[in-house]
């Protein structure tokens, strides 16, 4: 596992899974064969399989503030029925053991911050005990954008069959029932150094988490940026984006703002080494990993 510091904040990446996800040209519908060839030549080794699948990591970021222990997103989860994602259906990973190795027991988590409510970001919010989904982190408040929650709550109540509504039922509603959900504005400030920022497009209420202290800055970006393909070609939206045009706009703006700024990027799905900085390049942008 990897740990970096942003001022007084200590941030550790805890991995649940690293694996191929989908063919690059399927996941990025506007990606041409020539663009893929460029990426496979120019991007660092390990971004793709030999047959053109994108490699992705599924991890949480543990933020230790000195007073609180925060998880940002909670990966896929065990024993979740994900019929439309066979490779992720009924997983049985050692995530909680790995989390314990990082010095965090479930009862020690004070807050879970959700960048958005897609199935692969909320799975460990709950675990199956005695045939019931119960909160994995019994003492944690789950910070969720009200915009994001309301969108999926309405979709769920309207009978939307989406995998995200399936996960809303097994990974969000039990936490809400336990009165552990705190709905907040999209620009909610947790404290002087940690705040949310709306970056809509991938989902209706997607937020990023800004972490800043002592002149240093980092951004936990969730799914605003999925893969280094989107640094070489920032215009590439994914088939998973709710609003591809808006996602393109917010992603490009975020990349342009961070490029060359020295800020750390803490993305949700970049393969190891995951944490790094965006730098301007002759064409597009390049990633400079630090951990």
- Quick one: average pLDDT of 175-189? 98
Q: Is the pLDDT of residue 98 over 90?
A: yes
In this structure, of 121-125, 140-144, 190-194, the range with the lowest mean pLDDT score is 190-194
In this structure, of 27-31, 189-193, 210-214, the range with the lowest mean pLDDT score is 189-193
CATH of the domain at 208: 3.60.15.10
What is the number of domains present in the chain? 1
pLDDT at 152: 98
Q: What percentage of the chain reaches a pLDDT higher than 90?
A: 99
Which structural domain, as residue segments, surrounds residue 268?
2-289
Residue written as token pair 């209420």: 205
From the list 1, 18, 95, the residue with the least C-alpha distance to 56 is: 18
Given a contact cutoff of 8 angstroms between Cβ atoms, the answer to whether 175 and 127 are in contact is: no
> How crowded is residue 38: how many other Cβ atoms within 10 Å of its Cβ?
17
Give the C-alpha separation, 270 to 90, whole Å. Answer: 23
Question: Which residues make Cβ contacts (< 8 Å) with residue 62, sequence separation at least 6?
Answer: 11, 12, 13, 14, 69, 70, 71, 99, 102, 104
Give the C-alpha separation, 173 to 125, whole Å. Answer: 10
**Is the CA virtual torsion 241, 244, 248, 254 positive or negative?**
negative
Alpha helices in 65-131 (DSSP H): 95-101, 119-122
pLDDT at 6: 98
């Amino acid at each position: 596992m990897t740990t970096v510091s942003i001022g007084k904040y200590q941030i550790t990446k805890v991995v649940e899974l690293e694996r191929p996800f989908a063919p690059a040209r399927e996941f990025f519908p506007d990606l041409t064969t020539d663009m893929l060839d460029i990426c496979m030549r120019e991007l660092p080794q390990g971004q793709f399989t030999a047959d053109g699948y994108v490699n992705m990591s599924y991890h949480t970021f543990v933020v230790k503030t000195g007073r609180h222990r925060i998880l940002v997103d909670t990966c896929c989860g065990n024993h979740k029925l994900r019929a439309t994602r066979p490779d992720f259906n009924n997983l049985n990973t050692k995530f909680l053991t790995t989390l314990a190795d990082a010095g965090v027991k479930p009862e020690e988590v004070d807050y879970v911050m959700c960048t958005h409510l897609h199935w692969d970001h909320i799975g460990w919010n709950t675990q199956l005990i005695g045939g019931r989904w119960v909160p994995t982190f019994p003492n944690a408040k789950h910070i969720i954008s009200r915009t994001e929650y309301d969108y999926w709550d309405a979709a769920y109540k309207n009978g939307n069959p989406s995998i995200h509504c399936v996960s809303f039922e097994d990974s969000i509603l039990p936490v809400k029932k336990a009165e552990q959900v705190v709905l907040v504005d999209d620009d909610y400030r947790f404290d002087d150094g940690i705040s949310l920022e709306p970056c809509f497009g991938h989902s209706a209420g997607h937020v990023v988490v800004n972490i800043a202290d002592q002149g240093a800055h980092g951004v936990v970006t969730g799914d605003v940026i999925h893969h280094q393909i989107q640094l070489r070609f920032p215009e590439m939206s994914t088939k998973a984006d709710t609003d591809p045009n808006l996602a393109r706009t917010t992603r490009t703006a975020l990349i342009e703002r961070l490029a060359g700024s020295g800020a750390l990027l803490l993305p949700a799905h970049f393969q190891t080494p995951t944490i790094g900085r965006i730098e301007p390049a002759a064409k597009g942008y390049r990633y400079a990993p630090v951990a």
